[in-house]
């Protein structure tokens, strides 16, 4: 099959079966496409839709996003995870508003200069919003091409990625680029799925090498396994009535810029630094929160604020009292949101 025939078949399938009713497809713009593409990184469409709708209601334009406080942006991102995406989104919005007069550049190379936008995302925004001929290679497309061409190896490997990019560029047509980009993403998301691919419904299955050699499940190759280490921390749930003491985390690192409970590495640190008798602590069941590169074992420790001098201990930190009944619009780390909800619910039952 020549390259033009490949794109024709994919586009014919898209015309009949492609997704055309997603919220960000209803008003096509570089801003809408960009927001959706960033949200869809590492996140399923079904999860993204309500977040996207709420986000766009609050930040309908790139200027509105650029003007907003980062805390409010993180608040609307809470629950989506990978919070560096939200911080980069805010930085990029400021650059577009200030350096590009609020207009996203059409050139994918210029788009790549914005924080948080890589080669594939830049191509997706440019092709969908402006019809630019630009190849994409997101997770879905990597899977489609790795199977179609039976490309051995893990796509995270630079040499394997290079081969897949070459295939992606060679197949990208000269016209209908917005539709073709969406079609390739849809093909991977709806038919050429990671598990239980629907090969019998796939428009390009006739020439798929992985299917011909009966090895569809072997492609793409898996990332070499590496045992995740486990780290431990104690989260201090300092409460006063319906209020919880939170501190803002540093911009870099996990949960960067979000609000979280103060933490200590050892129970003895609570007595040493917070002057609270260990016998007066309410230690809850530990639970695990998993990041991409390690597990974090969290042990919640409930402390009544009247048992310590909060002002003295927290004087050099950025803190706030978070009211669980009338919550502030700030970004919360996922375990913090869960713990506040759990403790608040338990207090109501008492």
CATH number at residue 201: 1.10.340.30
For residue range 301-328, what is the model confidence (pLDDT) as tens digits?
A: 999 888 766 554 555 568 899 999 998 8
Q: What is the pLDDT of residue 182?
A: 97
Number of domains comprising the chain: 2
User: Could you tell me the CA-to-CA distances from 288 to 234, 237, 252 in Å, in that order?
Assistant: 12, 17, 22
Looking at the structure, do residues 193 and 283 belong to the same domain, yes or no? no
What confidence score (pLDDT) does residue 275 get? 74
Residues 213 and 235 in one domain: no
Residue 44 has pLDDT above 70, yes or no: yes
Which element (helix H / strand E) includes 311? Answer: helix 310-313
What mean pLDDT is predicted for residues 92-116? 97
Task: Using pLDDT thresholds of 50, 70 and 90, give the confidence band for residue 3.
Answer: confident
What is the residue-averaged pLDDT of the chain? Answer: 92
Phi, psi at 299, each rounded to 5°? -110, 110
| 102 pLDDT tier (thresholds 50, 70, 90) | very high
**169 and 58 in a common domain:** yes
**Which pLDDT band, with edges at 50, 70 and 90, does 292 fall under?**
confident
E strand residue ranges, the chain: 230-240, 243-248, 259-260, 263-264, 282-283, 287-290, 295-304, 319-323
- Per-residue confidence (pLDDT) for residue 1, from 0 to 100: 64
Q: How far apart are CA 158 and CA 156, in angstroms?
A: 6
Q: Please tell me the predicted confidence (pLDDT) of residue 318.
A: 85
Same domain, 184 and 238: no
Q: Flag whether 91 is in a domain.
A: yes
Taking a C-beta distance cutoff of 8 angstroms, is the pair 164, 232 a contact?
no
Task: Let me know whether 68 and 206 are in one domain.
Answer: yes
Q: Which of 37, 99, 152, 329 is catalytic?
A: 37
Query: Residue 281: pLDDT above 90?
Result: no
Burial of 337 (0-12, 13-18, 19+ CB in 10 A): middle
Domain finish residue from 183, 218, 253:
218
Strand-pairing partners, residue 245, are 321
Q: Mind listing the pLDDT tens digit for each residue in 215-241?
A: 999 999 998 888 899 999 999 999 999
Chain segment 188-204, per-residue pLDDT in tens = 999 999 999 999 999 99
When mean pLDDT is compared across 37-51, 133-147, 173-187, 244-258, the lowest value belongs to 244-258
What pLDDT score does 313 carry? Answer: 53
Task: Classify the phi-psi angles of 45: left when phi > 0, otherwise alpha if psi is within -120 to 50, otherwise beta.
Answer: alpha
Q: Residues 17-33: pLDDT tens digits? A: 999 999 999 988 999 99
**Structural domain containing residue 205:** 3-218
Confidence (pLDDT) at 315 = 56
Is 187 inside any structural domain? Answer: yes
Q: How many residues does the chain have?
A: 350
Q: How many CA atoms lie within 13 A of 239 on its CB side?
A: 19
- What's the pLDDT score for residue 344? 85
Does the active-site annotation cover 240? no
Point out the domain boundary residue: 185, 218, 251.
Answer: 218
Q: What is the CATH number of the domain that holds 307?
A: 3.90.79.10
Checking if the pLDDT of 99 tops 70, the result is: yes
223 inside domain: no
pLDDT tens by residue, 108-160: 999 999 999 999 999 999 999 999 999 999 999 999 999 999 999 999 999 99
The closest of 1, 3, 15, 11 to 169, measured between CA atoms, is: 3
Q: Based on the domain organization, do 250 and 211 belong to the same domain?
A: no
The per-residue pLDDT for 218 is 97
**How confident is the model at residue 350, as a pLDDT?**
63
pLDDT value for 311: 53
Structural domain includes residue 225: no
Within a domain: residue 123? yes
What's the rounded Cα separation, in Å, for the pair 133 and 131?
Answer: 6
pLDDT tier at 72, thresholds 50, 70, 90:
very high
pLDDT-based confidence at residue 280 (cuts at 50, 70, 90):
confident
Kindly tell me if the per-residue pLDDT of 214 is higher than 60: yes
Residue 321: per-residue pLDDT? 92
**Domain boundary, last residue among 184, 218, 252:** 218
Considering Cα of 142, then 147, then 148, then 153, what sign does the dihedral take? positive
Looking at residue 92, what is its pLDDT? Answer: 98
> What percent of the chain has pLDDT above 90?
79
Closest CA to 125 of 138, 109, 106: 106
């Amino acid at each position: 099959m020549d390259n033009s025939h490949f794109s024709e078949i994919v586009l014919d399938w898209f015309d009949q079966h492609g997704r055309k009713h997603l919220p960000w497809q209803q008003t096509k713009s570089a801003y809408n496409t960009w927001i959706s593409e960033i949200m869809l990184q590492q996140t399923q469409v079904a999860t993204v839709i309500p977040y996207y709708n709420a986000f766009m209601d609050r930040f309908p334009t790139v200027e509105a996003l650029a003007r907003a406080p980062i805390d409010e942006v993180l608040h609307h991102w809470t629950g989506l995870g990978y919070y560096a995406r939200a911080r980069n989104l805010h930085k990029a919005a400021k650059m577009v508003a200030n350096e590009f007069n609020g207009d996203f550049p059409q050139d994918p190379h210029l788009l790549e200069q914005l924080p948080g936008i890589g080669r594939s995302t830049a191509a997706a925004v440019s092709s969908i919003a402006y019809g630019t001929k630009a190849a994409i290679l997101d997770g879905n497309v990597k899977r489609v091409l790795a199977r179609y061409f039976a490309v051995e190896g893990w796509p995270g490997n630079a040499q394997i990625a290079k081969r897949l990019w070459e295939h992606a560029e060679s197949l990208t047509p000269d016209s209908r680029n917005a539709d073709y980009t969406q079609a390739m993403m849809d093909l991977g998301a709806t038919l050429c799925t990671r598990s239980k691919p629907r090969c019998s419904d796939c428009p390009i299955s006739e020439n798929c090498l992985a299917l011909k050699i009966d090895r569809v499940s072997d492609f793409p190759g898996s990332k070499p396994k590496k045992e995740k280490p486990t780290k431990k921390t104690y989260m201090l749930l300092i409460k006063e009535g319906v209020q919880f003491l939170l501190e803002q985390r540093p911009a870099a690192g996990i949960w960067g810029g979000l609000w979280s409970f103060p933490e200590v590495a050892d129970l003895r640190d609570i007595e040493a630094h917070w002057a609270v008798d260990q016998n007066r602590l309410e230690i809850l069941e530990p639970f695990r929160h998993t990041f991409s590169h390690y597990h974090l074992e969290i042990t919640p420790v409930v402390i009544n604020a009247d048992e310590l001098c909060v002002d003295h201990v927290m004087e050099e930190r950025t803190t706030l009292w978070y009211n669980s009944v009338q919550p502030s619009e700030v970004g919360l780390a996922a375990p913090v949101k869960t713990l506040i909800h759990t403790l608040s619910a338990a207090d109501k039952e008492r």
